[in-house]
Structure 1
Amino acid sequence: MCTLRLVTGEEIEDTFTLAGDLPVRRLGYGTAQLTGPGYWGPRGDARDAVAVLRRAVERGVTLIDTADNYGPHLAEELVAEALHPYPEGLLIATKGAVVRTSDRAWHIDGRPRSLRAMCEASLRRLRLETIGLYQLHRLDPAVPLAEQLGALEELRAEGKIRYVGLDTVSAEQLAKALELAEIVSVQNRYHLLDRESEPLLALCERRGIAFLPWFPLGNGVLTGHPVCAEVAAAHGATPGQVALAWLLHRSPVLCPTPGTGSLAHLEENLDAAALRLSDGELARLSALAG
């Protein structure tokens, strides 16, 4: 396992500069929870989803992460309904290459013509001329990586994509991708109890690449973890806030995008950015995956 230096509270940066060019608030918002189980269909009333998205931006969120297969298509449509015309400085990140056919069935399609069609459909749904960050939701093992990234580079040259990111990759795959294209972000599962992607995080640190950890709250497991609860009690916080704060302390390239359909939960998540953990608390939390 790679050893990464934990960042002390005084050193925490509120923003990360994507590609050395675009500053975004490190604590963003993810839209997966606006759709139903298995990312299929709606979850609750669309008006509630719109309210959550608008409140996230009111609270200073500048990174909204979505995907074309959430719904499918529904999450992108909600983002546009809630936030278009988009305020200056707001980065809309979406994904392509995963085709969802039911709440339990999906497949990967990284063929260049498919990626182009997916990207152009996302542009229409999001009401954008350029997608700020377009991510390969999964690499297609049946298509050469150079062809998948080449398709996105063509779209970038045409002005339809500004930045390119990857989702669910190894450090070795990222290193190979960097030989073929400029990659500014990755998304992998990473949280207090799951550090499998630590070699990838170390590479991101060396190359200045944003790491957007998915399931930053362990899909709910960490909100009830006893150690998180004990640390939280000392701060008048919640276990979930401690788990998010640990990520912000863990590495300056980590940019969590926790999702929720609840206004109250959104406020709780975003308040985690103000939580400062002591060196002793950080060490205790970090030992959980040991």
Structure 2
Amino acid sequence: MLTEVTAVRYVTPLREGGSLPGVVEAVDASGSYASYVMKFTGAGQGRKTLVAEVICGELARGLGLRMPRLAQIELDPVLGLGEPDPQVQELLKASGGPNLGMDFLSGALGYDPLAFPVDPGAAGRVVWFDALINNVDRSWRNPNLLVWQGELWLIDHGASMIWHHNWRTAQTAAAKPYDASDHVLAPFGPAVAAAAEELAPLVTEELLTRVTAEAPDAWLVDEPGFDSPDAVRRAYVATLLERAATIHERITLPGVTGAEPKGASK
């Protein structure tokens, strides 16, 4: 289960993207304090963004990809009363209850493909994973990758699984190809076939049931066409399970897949 913590101090906004995440300090049940990047239920993108963050983030971790630890952060709207920025104050006031937190990786750098080449195997695993979840937000313009302690870390999956915005078309969406021609790791010759051979067998009903269980009921209730949060979870499981089996056959990459770009590390 996601660690449950309580926000005690809003530190600073991260003015990237439209959701206005912020760094907060929070305390857990043992009294330990830690810093998190917090994404708010009151942000314009809505709760489905947070559901995607949880399911995809925990799935990445389950597949052995590096992903900062996630937490469920309880926010008292009173915390916003002393915030001088009106925009931030309104966001905090609109986000009472459970929100999403991600471990703040102090000293992490935004990914630069010119400074941090990736070998085809590692690139293939990330591209295959992004194809599985239909992540449309890992381009060279917005990599959503960090380099921390010399390793590549995945972040920000709120723009994934776009089929959950219209469940009636989910089955059709699951069968669609994935265009990775603009993917930030495409120049490194991602070995997607090898990645599929390694990772697809790990995407089991058991794993997907476990990761979808991490999404709080409060973010899944009242979904049109479903009578319970568990019914919504089963829909995520079915769609991802179907997609995992053959998505590697429908990934579009520029040039010759598997070719090693100049300068790629061994």
Does TM, normalized by the shorter one, top 0.5?
no
